Amino acid sequence: MMFIRILTYSLILFLFGCTQPLPKDEPPPEAAIKLQAAIDAAEQLEKQGNYQKAAQNYLEIAAQTNPPTRQGYQLSAIKAFLKADKFKEAKAELDKLSVSESVGLEIPLELVHIQIDLAEQRVSKAWDRLKAIDSSILPKPLQIEHQQIHAQAQVAKGNLLKAIAEFQSINQLANSDPVILRENNKYIWRGLSALKVSELNSVPQNDVVSGWIALAEITKASPQKHWRQNIKNWQLRFGKHPATEHIVPHLVQNLPPLTPLKEVALLLPLSGKFGARALAVQNGFFALAETGFEKNKPSIKVHDINADNILQVYQTVVDDGADFVVGPLEKGTLELLATHKTLLPVPTLGLNHLQTPVLTGNFYQFSLSPEDEARVVAARAWVDGHRTALLLVPEGQFGERVLEAFIIAWEEQGGEVVSQHRYGNNFKTSISKVLRGVKEVDMAFMLAFPQVARKIRPLFKSKLSDLPIYSTSHLYNGTLNPKRDAKLNGVKFVDMSWILAPDENGQEWQSSLQKSWPKEFKKYKRLFALGIDAYTLLSKLQQLSQLEWQGQTGYLSVDHKGIIHREQLRLAHFVEGKPQLLD
């Protein structure tokens, strides 16, 4: 115990007496000014991560000072060499250090020896030496250093989860000191880099660990030519991750810049029950591909896929050189692909939206999501001054998904859901009963397809006849039918500009597509727009220089999960059976 107290006292002397402040009552001598400038320069080099140069500067400073200050700067040089992974140089300088003159350096020197043990794979020995030191009695700088080495030992023992937790604790203790953050991230990355892909996937994960694992998997499971765009996708998913500042710049610094896409694979269920829909998407995709203004257009190869061959076809197109994959369209097939691997080798734009959260790298989801429309409706109804809502949706998964999306968006704004009803085949009777009993609502949200919507609207009688009704695009098939749609007069709904007010490009594409595919275009007009926007997204998602774009299906934005959302949809209402814009 007496020995520990002596050590503690001598450590304090070292930590606070190694560099003597210059006298304030008289100008310091020129040599002292130069020495202080050299000290400041060495410390700045260390903060910048230029450890080897910092080590050399510390040695030059040590040569100009007397014991025990000299040994303090020798020790600083040794530590800088260790941070630079120059173990040979560190050991050489350690041999030169006079221990007998190293007053107060016993524990700092012991920590250096432990680091060398770890570097030379003597993990058990390093662990035993660490446990022999009572870190609670150490000053804070040495406590941090001891904890850092303890976490490094956890990495060496394969306890990555514990190590990452310890490094995070150290970061807080050190008040996010940039030098300490950089060192901690380096050791985490070093530990991950030593693991195989199969070992990476077996590490227990949380949000931070998932980011580390995903980044390591990029460097191990994808060709280096895809690293840059794969890392861009990683940055989208883990934008505030600790690896962003130090590890990622090191990974990309020598990578070639992204080049224009050369080959795109379009995977669609052309021969299945979704064949007509798939053909509409394909024709929209090629409408833009053939008329676009980009100089270097990619080659597009179309593949007929289904749930039985998707994995094989996907791997084949990637092996054959596809830079980007678009599809599948059908939800079950898309889920098979998305959950097959934790990292897809090239950017892949699925043309549907999975309900189960998917964290697969390089995977994007784009669809005509009814949930997006429900959220837009909720926002527009709120802006119009409504606060209490009646909700009418069909029974089943479709209705439940849209209902949930509307309720979340509505209540987040402060709106109240007074009543909600799920209707079935006997909807006239059930909805009439709901309407007779409903009170104190100032708007209704109705989810219905045209034939049903035309029958529900007349049920709003007497005092509810003027109740504002909002809906999604599902109540309008995109083709004027004033005789039938007169029953929907007054109903407000959101839809894409492509349907309600196409821009100049949209009008040209519609004219061309209508001539080539008149029946299909009338029935699947919105899916043609989905294909056009899917082509637009190719270069956008490859570069990810921005996260929002104007499209034909809406104003598009991508979130950190890779889901493309449609926003800023147009609001219209029926007047004499025809949609008229309200904005």
- Three-state SS across 197-263? HHHHCCCCCCHHHHHHHHHHHHHHHCCHHHHHHHHHHHHHHCCCCCHHHHHHHHHHCCCCCCCCCCE
User: What does DSSP assign to residue 323?
Assistant: S
> Cα–Cα distance between 153 and 126 in angstroms, integer?
8
The reported pTM is 0.82
Residue 160: name the closest of 213, 219, 234, 85 by CA.
Answer: 213
How confident is the model at residue 114, as a pLDDT? 95
Task: Point out the residues of the chain with pLDDT beneath 70.
Answer: 1-28, 204, 292-294
> Cα–Cα distance between 362 and 343 in angstroms, integer?
6
pLDDT tens-digit profile of 263-277?
A: 999 999 999 899 999
Tokens of 343: 């990292």
Cβ atoms of residues 238 and 222 within 8 Å: no
**Cα dist from 85 to 55, 81, 90, 95, whole Å:** 12, 6, 9, 17
Mean pLDDT of the chain: 90
Sequence-distant (6+) residues with CB within 8 A of 416 are 387, 388, 389
CB atoms within 10 A of CB 330: 23
> Cα–Cα distance between 507 and 502 in angstroms, integer?
6
Tokens of 370: 């009814």
CB atoms within 10 A of CB 50: 16
> Cα–Cα distance between 129 and 131 in angstroms, integer?
6
Tokens of 495: 């839809």
> Cα–Cα distance between 445 and 414 in angstroms, integer?
16
How confident is the model at residue 276, as a pLDDT? 97
